[in-house]
Amino acid sequence: MGEALRQNRSSHWGSQQSDADFRRAIDQLKSSVLMSGVVGMAVTLKRAGKEWKARCPFHAERTPSFTVVDAHERAYCFGCAWQGDVLAFVMKVEGCSFREAYRILASQDLPTWTPQEREKAQAEDRLERLADEVAARQFFKEGQPVAGTDGEVYLRARGITIDIPGDVRFGLVPAWRDKDTNQWGPRRPALICGARDATDAIVGIQRIFFRNDNPALGKADKKLSLGSIKGAAMHLGAAEETVILAEGPEDGLSIVQEGPGHPVWVPFGTGCMPAVEFPPIVRRVIIAGQNNTAGRVAAEKATIAFLDRGLDVGRACPAPQFDDWNDQLRAVAV
């Protein structure tokens, strides 16, 4: 935020106001301030459809993974797993308390939107997500079993030799869509991993494209999600009392291959891990984390979230010399 938000830190909220008044003021501020306007005072944002992208201000990165969605009134980073609303962002950037973050925001002339603009953006977001969910189900349906395809070549190059479960498919899918014309880009070969909600319905996918479209390299060019991903996961095994949670498809398949015997679910990203929804049969979650900062942060946040839901939580990590579970499977040291 820097000087832009540190100016005029006057004591906006007097001690005479009640906690109820303070909560109402907070709700009013959060609903009226454009999150992109606040974040844009700290980092350079670039428009991406109805979202904004930037390099994360909380960890070093070369490729922007920090996303701001005004309709959600939240921002999140796919790299370090940070997520939060406008007050949480100010607290993180300024290293201040909740009340101080409120004072900073309330004392500034910030970009705002009207209730009508907010409701319109949120309605458009819901419609877009429903359309994305329909498209995701269609791409998943069009996919074929991995055996004998470039998808199998990619997974074998990653050291994964087990029979591939049905929620991992192969197909030709586009990597992008023009949001203005609703036209999809050219199709490329990719793994198509299905994301299921707690009722076991496909609600989204993750597309894993191969570097240079060459699966034999065993390297992903990019991983792109589509549909209703938050709360969903790829199910490598039906729900049981104990479920293992892994960050990505390659990690999940590696854990299945190493054979702990429990179903493994994959939420497609560290930031999505705490939101995974489970059916009532699940009572214990083992978080299979990674030996990096983002993985450790995500595992800690997921642990807190699941404990709050009354679930028993365990933790597991690869051997210290390996970054993730697929590295361990291939015995590739960091």
pLDDT in tens, 186-197: 999 999 999 999
Sequence-ordered alpha helix ranges (H) in the chain = 3-6, 19-32, 35-39, 86-94, 98-106, 115-142, 150-157, 249-258, 293-308, 325-330
Q: Can you tell me the mean pLDDT for 161-176?
A: 95
The domain made up of 3-113 has a fold known as: DNA Primase; Chain A (3.90.580)
Length of the chain in terms of residues written: 334
The three-class DSSP label of residue 191 is: strand
The three-class DSSP label of residue 123 is: helix
Q: Can you tell me the mean pLDDT for 126-152?
A: 92
Say what the pLDDT of residue 10 is: 41
Of the candidates 313, 318, 230, which has an alpha carbon nearest to the alpha carbon of residue 277? 230
Res. 334 pLDDT band, cuts 50 70 90: low
d(CA 287, CA 67): 25
At which residue do the structure tokens 């990674």 appear?
A: 290
Tens-digit pLDDT profile for residues 255-270: 999 987 899 999 987 7
Could you give the strand order of the β-sheet that contains 220-227, starting from the edge strand earlier in sequence? 144-145, 168-174, 187-196, 202-210, 220-227
CATH number of the domain located at residue range(s) 232-334 in this protein: 3.40.1360.10
Q: Which H or E run contains 183?
A: strand 183-184
d(CA 30, CA 89): 12
pLDDT exceeds 60 at position 8: no
pLDDT exceeds 80 at position 74: yes
| All structural domains of the chain with their residue ranges | 3-113, 143-229, 232-334
pLDDT exceeds 50 at position 9: no
Say what the pLDDT of residue 14 is: 45
Of the candidates 145, 157, 167, which has an alpha carbon nearest to the alpha carbon of residue 215? 157
The pTM (predicted TM-score) of the whole model is 0.73
